[in-house]
Structure formats: C-alpha cells, structure tokens
Structure 1
C-alpha cells in the first residue's frame, strides 16, 4: 500500500478524507495501484446509486488469491499466515506459513478442479472453524468458483434454502465439529439438507473428528483421499473486476434470506484498506478476529483483509467460556496477540464472570482492541478498556454491514477519536448523511436521523444473487440516490456518529441480523400456531433478544404445563427451520394481536410491551380490538 494510503495522524486522516470525497477516482486509483493486476482498469468508478448499479475498476483482470498469497511469497514466504487454536486447549495448535498456505490452497483448488468445479460454479461451504475452511474458501477463489459459506449452526432447512437459491453444484463439509463442550454431526445435517437440493452433484468431506459418517456413493468423497498425490501448484484463474467473489446470505425484512453478492476487485481494495487503517496493522502483529468465517466479519477481517495485508491471523475453533471463562485471555497470552477484535456479546458474557478469570493473565502483548457486530454499550466499553486493554489500548468500535463489505464508520486505532458508545468518524471514501422521513438531509451536528450513504465505495454490495430488483428495493429505492442502511444514527456535537439501532423489521442478536418475517415464517410452520409476531427487546448480553407473540388455534391454554409444552414445540420448529441461533428468548401465548382495522399488526405496541414500557402506548382506540393490548400487558413474560 503506498504511503499516502496509510494514515498515520489525524491531519493525514482529514487530508485522505478530503481527497477521497472530492476526487474519489484519483484517490482509489492510487490506493489500488500496488496490487497484482493481470490488466489495469479502464475506469475506476461507475455508479448509479438510484438503480443500485455500482462498478469499480471496470476492465481490470486479476485473481484475489494472487494478492493474498503469491505476491507475499518472495518477502513473507516463511512468515506465519494462519495460527489455528483448536477448541480443546490440550490439542496441539497449528501454524501455516504463507508458503504452506499457498501450497494447501493450490492442492484444494486442484481437488475442486478434479471434481468438476469450474469458474462461475457456486460452492456452498458448511464447515467448522478449522484451517481447511479458510483453505477451501481461498481454493474456490483461486479457480474462480463463487463461494457461499453457511455458518455451521444453521439447520438443514436453512442450508437447503441457501444451496437452492445459489444453485450450488458442490458442497464442502466435514464429519463433525467441536463447539465448546458440544460435538455436532455436521455431515448428518448436510445429508438431511441435500435431500431437497437437486443441483448438488458432489460433496467433499474433510475428516476432523474421525467420526464414521454415511457416504452416498457417486456423490460423496473424502478430501484426504482426493488430495493424495495432487499437485501443490495451481494457476490462478483470471477474473474480471466485477466477477462475483462470494455470496453471503443475510436475513432481511421478508422471510427468504437474501444472497448478498460481493465482487472481486472493489471488495479486495476495500478489505485491505480498511483492515490496515482501522487496526493500524504493523508487520509483526499477531491479529485475532474471533468471528466465524460463516459471517461477513470472518470473511473480511479474519481471512481476506489480513492475508491481503500480509499479516498473521489467528483462527479459533472454540467459544469464549470453554473450558473456562478465561479462555480468550489464555489464548492472547499463549500466542502474544497484539490486535484483538471481538463482539460486545462476548465481552458482556465475560464481564458476568469473576474478574479473576482475567487477572490470571498478563495481556501485556495487546496493542489495539476492536468491537464489531453492534454498538458497544458504555459499561462494556469501560470494562474492556480497563481490564483487557489496561487503559493503554485504543478501542475501535466498528460500524459496518454484510452489504458494505468492510468497516464504514470507526475510530482509526490511536489516530482518530475513540469515545465510548460512538462509532466515530467515517472512513475515507464514506459519505454518511442523516435523513428525515421525507428523505431530506439533516445538516449540522447534534442531530439524529436515518443513516444513509450518498457516494459509492469499493466494497458496496453489487446485487442480491439472482434478483437485482430485491437489492434495489431494499437498499437503494427507499431514498433514491442513497444507500439506505436501515439504521438510525446520531451525529454528536463533535461530528462523531453514534448508531442507535435498526429502524426496520430486523433484529440484531449478538451482532447477527434476523428479519422478523423469517422467524415468524418458521414459527408459523408449527401446528400449534395460527399467527405470530416477533419483535426485538433489550438484552443484557446479546444486545437484542427475540420476543415472540403467538396465537394458538384453541386459544391460550390455562394449564402452565400445556403452555410450556407448546412453547418447547415452537422452539423445536425454529431450531429445525433456522437453527438454535434464532431461538426466541421469550414466547408469549396470546389470544390476539394489536391490529389496525386494515389488518396491520402494530409492532410498535408489541415492542413497547416487550421492553416493559407500557406507559406510552399511544392511541389504541383505533385498533380492531383495543382490549387485546391489556391482555398482552397482563400476560407479559
């Protein structure tokens, strides 16, 4: 990265921000210059925000893995690329240098080729957090296949939805996975999903736990058998700048998950630029992002960003509290981690345990702390700053989304202001605005409104897979000329942004977004349910919890044991349809829902009740049945 692209002071930030907004094409051309290109671009940026059309580095030819791996071999071939820390602290950790990772990626790419995977094919990956997951993702990119990683906690139905939407021909999985004290039969879940996925013709299984699994003849093969004697070199497929790199499914305000598409060149430049500058990465850093690669944070800031920058990235299979609540801090000391990036949910859950779990470790290696997934509350910020950073490590509270590709608003570590409960200033190239309901921009500081972005940036979502109109309607149609984030925000007296929360029907649970419609659709599959309504409510650990109001065909059962039976059955249905991650925190059986005379559910009232704020419900006399509100309040969980 050229020196001008690396921000080292507040003055340099302001200059970079000015240039990126006044002359964006020149700015990004200079940032992109040092990458390995087979062919340079004809134009830097072509954007029609109203139509949701955004092209970057058009005409360029490249392969992202040459930039993640090959270009580092001459100078960093023996440097650690990935350090793998397993679930069980007594199991040996694994280290891969850039040269070793390059060889493993090439070998996996050759196995994919040998199993008929070609440029443009979609490959779904449902694997534990083991090195083979990272290798598989890069192997797909190496040969121009489009990878779609599915978090290995989603149900068989959720996998099938994603595989069918992508029309994937190949699925990559493992025999099983470890997650804390649990072991999960991953292959069995995939087998169940693929009963309704006719496009899949090959399943490649990585051996991880040594479990016997059912292998369907003609479809399923073991990776270790396929890799025997396979070459460790594989030429990188030449890709166009706007060729899709990956599809990542995210929840929306309708029931069907949408496949967010990111393309090759713009995503690459954005991932690298934001990673280096937000975390102020140095050559000898040991960097640890605790996110699963099944989420976008794992894509951009565990895998692509660190490898593009030639950094060392730690990959962790386990959970923060196994085998004890000191596990994160033990891993930091063990590997001398310097930059640590985790979620407020994890911080809040660890705050609840005895502080001696922290005090047992020195944490002296730490230099920068990061937070991702949702705004970090002030209490958690101060605990993190005081007990983990020892009041010497800057905290970067990063705001971004699956659709933005990388960080949009954040402090740059030690460079720009880091204030509790504020994301901070926008990164160069990001033009945030606050809008009122009619779409007019709200000028000045100390203001609140809907957060939107008014200029394209390299990492912007390109489309939703197979349905561009859905992308346009979701992100670009609400306020023409802007990318609409779906978040409310406040710009404080110093111009720093504070994210207030969602303004649409999406719940942010532990940093993972779920559309209320998606959960309602799952609940309504249950035979005990006539109708349901789902809202978010404040949760001490997860940020937001899920509160479900459910109408049963026979009304609300009087017997507590019967109510519990129905609630348990509903939870089973949600786990089967989506996965345990979408399990409601509270289910309230009700005889009716507050509806207008036109049949619209008044979610505002349900949110207030879930939050325990029943003093200001507004005018309920216009409802079809105002008495139902009193019943819901009296039965509140």
Structure 2
C-alpha cells in the first residue's frame, strides 16, 4: 500500500477551480479528466478557453490546425484577441478598485495599484510608446528590476501590439547585447539603478555598451534609486516625461491569435540563448489554465511568488495568468534574506498572502538558516505552496511541508519550461502526495516516459516526451528554425523531446531526475545528477550540493560532487560524503572527487550554475559571470589535472 504524506481535506478539494471544472462536466477524478482531455484534445482546450473567460473580438473558426505537422501547430485559428482584453481591460470593469499589485523595494518603500490605476498607467505609457513611433510588431526590450514600471512596460507593449522581451536585470553587457541584437529591439527600458543586499547596482555602463551596433532607437530611463545620472537627448527619454501628459485612455490593438506576444530568451546548453516565441491566443488560454487549475489562483487570492519576470515563471504567474484570473500579487524587488532572514515571512504575514511560490534553492537557504517561520509569523492564510525551477529534494519538500505548511498545505511542485509556456507536470488540488513528486501531466498535455528506443517505461528512469500539441507551445525559436527542429524534434519522429529525465511510480506520480544532459554514465551505469544531489543533501550535516560529470579514461565518465556543510565550522567531510553516496546509491555512484565549498555558485534567482563548476574544475573558459550572486565562490574551486 502506498504511503502518502499529504491527504487533502474535502474542503480543499471542493473549493478548487479544477474540482469546479470537473463537476461542470460530470468528471469524477483527475485521471478521468486527463484521459478525456487526451482523447478529446480540442474539446478540452475549447472548454478551458470558455471557463477562464478569454475575450475574443472575433471567434476562432478552428481550435487546432496541425496540417503542417505537430511542430508547426496553430491554435484558435482565425480568432482575434489581445491578451490585455482578457486581463486588465476585463477586470477594470468588474473589480476596478481591487488591488492588482503591491510593490515592495528592498529598502522598504511600498506602493500599490488597483485595476483601475493599472489600466490608466498602462494606457498612458502605451500612448507614450506610440508617440515614439512604436507600432504593432515592433520589439520593446525591458531591462528592469522587479518594479512597477516593469509590469507597466510589459502590459503597455501588449496593449499596442508590440512584442515585449523581458531581460533579467542582472545580465551583463554581452548578455544584454546579444538579446537586443537578436530580436532587433527598437526600444529599451532601463532603470537609474537598484539595490541588492544594500549595495547600489548601476545599469548605465552595461546599457551604454550593450546598445552599440543594435537597432535600439530610444532608451527609456525609469527613475528608481537615483544611482545613475542621465541627460535627456535624442536617444534618451525619461519615463516620467514620456507619460505625464499622455491620455489615460488608449485603444487596445486587435491581434490575430497567432500574432507574437513576447520573446523570452532561455539559455541553451551550448551556443547563444534561444529566443522563444509565444503568441496572444494560445498563451492567453494556457496562462489562464496554469493559474486557475495548477496553483488554484482565484480572484480573492493574494500571490507572493518572488520569481523574476525575466523568467517564464514570473511572466505566467506574476503577470498574465494572475491578471487573467483577476487576482492580486505582491512584487518584491530585493534579496530574500535582506535586511534580515525573516524578510519573506514578514511579507507573507503583512499582506495575508494565500499562495506562496518559492524555488527549491531558496528553500534550502531557509532550511540552512534553521528558519522557524510559524513560531514568529501568522501564515495561516496560505492555502498552496507552488515550487519550481529545479528538482525539489525530499529534505526541502519536508521542510516546506512542516515548517511553512504545518503539514496541512499541499506542496505544489511543478515542472515545465520557457518553451512549454509554463508547466507540463504539476501537483493539483485534491491530490494525495508523496515527498518531492511533481504530480501528474497537466490535463491537456499528452506526456510519456520512454527508453532509448522510444518504448514506454514505468518504475524506471526514462526520457520525457510530448506526443500532442498544446496551446502554450513555442511557435519556434527566433531567427533559428534549424535549431528549433534539432533541439526538440530530432530525437523521435514528430514527438517533442524536452530533455528531462523522469520517473513514474506505481501510483502514477511523476518525479524529476534532472536533465538528460545531466545524466552521468559510469561504466554503463546511468545516474542523474539530481539523484546524487538529493542523496547528499539528505545527510544531516549537508545543506546543499551539486554534482557534475567529467571525462574518465577508464569509466567513460566520473562523478564529481560539491557540497556545502550545514555548519560552516564542520570540515573534512569529503570522505563522509563519498561513503554516504556509496551506501545510499551504490559503489558505482561513489564520486571520483568531492569538494567542500562555503556556498554554491548561484544566479540572483537561485539557480545553481553547475556548468561553471565544471568549467573551472577542468580549466576551461568560464565566460560571463554577471548573473551570479556570488562569483567569488568559483575561487574556491581548484583546477584538476
């Protein structure tokens, strides 16, 4: 008999959006819904569209067109819409005075916007952009921290039919330049500086160098922390000057369902970043589906999910999905543990957040700091805890479940990607849970696990594939059709190969085992880096870990483990860690090298940069370190050989 650590109450089941949807169509269970959605794909997505209330200026005449093949699928063909109409424009009529956003800066400054105020400010900026000559199809680049103007720039671009590309504000000159150049951005938004852990961060020099030899015509400067000084010129426009005299009413551009909404860049394992393209129609329906059914976002909810809008997580749940549901969000610009380690818990308590999104890396940080949030803060309003970004280890799952959820709240672990448009695997309301599971394939997506020959497997690790189209799938990689085909469609015929390594247990619960390029092959034995790392982290003296593969003349590949001790005074734990791995997984998994570090190299969003550990260890080119929160950690890694 299966051991489920979380069993939902009847109230948790019946009050969810997914239960309401199933009840409407007399569907008795999630497996039944998944089966029906798989067999009647077009019926399902059409009903989702109606259920979440997407606004169409002209109805579509065909739900799905795959006549040119799975890879070239189009959704809601012939339909006319604009995602703005299904978000702000819709709710400014229904709930104009409801707070859409609370904004908090690291130094404690706060502000808020109702749906009415949001609509007015978006319209003023939209008119300002039009005055600069921005029109439908132009690309607007947004290189801003997590502030009010970043949200406004995203929405104003969508409203007038411009294509937005949000670029993480921590990126370097080279990273910014390659994105501006690739998408031919016409406008660039940048701040006059921001703060991280009390330190002033300038964007001026980075911006000035990055726009060289690009097609950026105007740079719009947002007044934020007054770190950088600018002079108005033909190419420099101040945000406040641009918007102050504009009309607060602006007509929304009517778009075709397949017109581009945004380009979001995601790093490839090799080569330049991939420009992932998403469109108005399909993404509207998919983002609403993600918000409504996966994390159960409802109009009365307040979401606090500190995920940067430069990532798909931020765009789906902090912007478009949130606003399609007419809910509210708290947007925080700053480090999660500054000025004190209880910053996150205080925000959750002060704003009565009902949904708390967090990354596995941040969870491990809280766990390492021995946080006890329930002892000092009222978190009883929280109903769901979604988490994504990388595989969630069991120890971190238990920490969230016990220390934040008080063993009463589901940990809604989910997995997807920029190219997916959100999540493809998720825990759903009403599910019985085991530690670290990513739940089930989201209804409306046809997933499977296969071996090297494409045969379905269960109770063993395999490759994740997608067999049918879905509305949120990218319409390709910008300027690189060849790479699109090679990356996702070359492994199996007419099947999306995502590159994830997964496992499905006897109860049909799915688990992430890492990326296929993170699978280590030692003497013919295949292991995932995630499995190794989760094993190391389960040791009572270890708080975090990363593993990589390096070439080995005898075994083909060898395992290298980096770890962080729970107590910084603990040392000489390398042999302990090595023996522990051998005991828990087997002798074949014992690493060739084990290194203790004071921390792991991480981006400002908490992603562990294993690639940099490998490059430093092997003496290879390190490359751009601008997105790292702690680049000095790499100095602790010595070259081998």
| TM-score w.r.t. length of structure 1 | 0.81
Choose which of 484, 489, 499 in structure 2 pairs with 1:471.
484
Query: 1:395, CA displacement in angstroms?
Result: 0.9
Q: Which runs of 5+ in 2 are unaligned?
A: 1-15, 520-528, 534-547, 549-556, 565-599, 601-606
**After the TM superposition, which segments of 4 or more aligned residues of structure 1 sit over 6 Å from their partners?**
1-5, 505-509, 533-536, 581-584
1:191 aligns with 2:208: yes
1:450 aligns with 2:463: yes
Residue of structure 2 equivalent to 1:139: 156
Superposed counterparts of 1:36-55, under 5 Å? 36-47=55-66, 52-55=71-74
Superposed counterparts of 1:13-32, under 5 Å? 13-32=30-49
Residue of structure 2 equivalent to 1:320: 336
Does the Cα contact within 8 Å between 1:534 and 1:549 map onto a contact in 2? no
The 1-side partners of 2:464 and 2:151 are apart by 33
The 1-side partners of 2:31 and 2:450 are apart by 24
Count of residue pairs brought into register by the alignment: 548
1:346 aligns with 2:362: yes
Superposed counterparts of 1:214-613, under 5 Å? 214-215=230-231, 217-356=233-372, 359-413=375-429, 415-438=430-453, 440-443=454-457, 445-504=458-517, 545=610, 546-549=612-615, 574-575=624-625, 585=634
Deviation digits for residues 179-227 of structure 1 (CA, Å, limit 9, x no counterpart): 2222211233211211232x11111111011344234621011010111
Query: 1:47, CA displacement in angstroms?
Result: 2.6
What SS does the corresponding residue of 1:486 show, helix, strand or coil?
Answer: strand
The farther-off stretch of 469-478 and 234-243 is 469-478
The 2-side partners of 1:310 and 1:47 are apart by 32
Residue of structure 2 equivalent to 1:608: none
What SS does the corresponding residue of 1:450 show, helix, strand or coil?
Answer: strand
Does the Cα contact within 8 Å between 1:411 and 1:417 map onto a contact in 2? no
Q: Which runs of 5+ in 1 are unaligned?
A: 510-515, 517-532, 557-566, 591-631
The 2-side partners of 1:374 and 1:49 are apart by 34
Does the Cα contact within 8 Å between 1:2 and 1:31 map onto a contact in 2? no
What SS does the corresponding residue of 1:109 show, helix, strand or coil?
Answer: helix
Query: 1:257, CA displacement in angstroms?
Result: 0.7
Does the Cα contact within 8 Å between 1:534 and 1:547 map onto a contact in 2? no
What SS does the corresponding residue of 2:303 show, helix, strand or coil?
Answer: strand
C-alpha change, 1:220 and 1:453, in structure 2 (3 Å) is: same
Does the Cα contact within 8 Å between 2:97 and 2:114 map onto a contact in 1? yes
The farther-off stretch of 133-142 and 278-287 is 278-287
What SS does the corresponding residue of 1:399 show, helix, strand or coil?
Answer: strand
The 1-side partners of 2:386 and 2:124 are apart by 34
Deviation digits for residues 346-385 of structure 1 (CA, Å, limit 9, x no counterpart): 0101111143566221212211111110121110111111
C-alpha change, 1:537 and 1:240, in structure 2 (3 Å) is: farther
Residue of structure 2 equivalent to 1:77: 96
Deviation digits for residues 51-98 of structure 1 (CA, Å, limit 9, x no counterpart): 621211011100101111111122211111111122123x2x211111
Deviation digits for residues 124-150 of structure 1 (CA, Å, limit 9, x no counterpart): 110010011011000000001110000
Residue of structure 1 equivalent to 2:223: 207
C-alpha change, 1:344 and 1:212, in structure 2 (3 Å) is: closer
The 2-side partners of 1:287 and 1:448 are apart by 34
The farther-off stretch of 579-588 and 56-65 is 579-588
What SS does the corresponding residue of 1:140 show, helix, strand or coil?
Answer: helix
Does the Cα contact within 8 Å between 1:408 and 1:426 map onto a contact in 2? yes
The 2-side partners of 1:494 and 1:585 are apart by 42
Choose which of 107, 113, 120 in structure 2 pairs with 1:96.
113
Does the Cα contact within 8 Å between 1:549 and 1:587 map onto a contact in 2? no
Query: 1:99, CA displacement in angstroms?
Result: 0.8
Query: 1:281, CA displacement in angstroms?
Result: 2.4
Residue of structure 2 equivalent to 1:613: none
Does the Cα contact within 8 Å between 1:396 and 1:418 map onto a contact in 2? no
The 2-side partners of 1:25 and 1:385 are apart by 37
The 1-side partners of 2:233 and 2:147 are apart by 26
C-alpha change, 1:293 and 1:61, in structure 2 (3 Å) is: same
Query: 1:42, CA displacement in angstroms?
Result: 1.5
C-alpha change, 1:210 and 1:534, in structure 2 (3 Å) is: farther
What SS does the corresponding residue of 1:387 show, helix, strand or coil?
Answer: helix
C-alpha change, 1:5 and 1:20, in structure 2 (3 Å) is: farther
Query: 1:455, CA displacement in angstroms?
Result: 0.8
Choose which of 63, 77, 83 in structure 2 pairs with 1:58.
77
The 2-side partners of 1:232 and 1:217 are apart by 25
Residue of structure 2 equivalent to 1:599: none
Residue of structure 2 equivalent to 1:127: 144
Query: 1:497, CA displacement in angstroms?
Result: 0.9
Residue of structure 2 equivalent to 1:107: 124
Query: 1:583, CA displacement in angstroms?
Result: 7.9
| TM-score w.r.t. length of structure 2 | 0.80
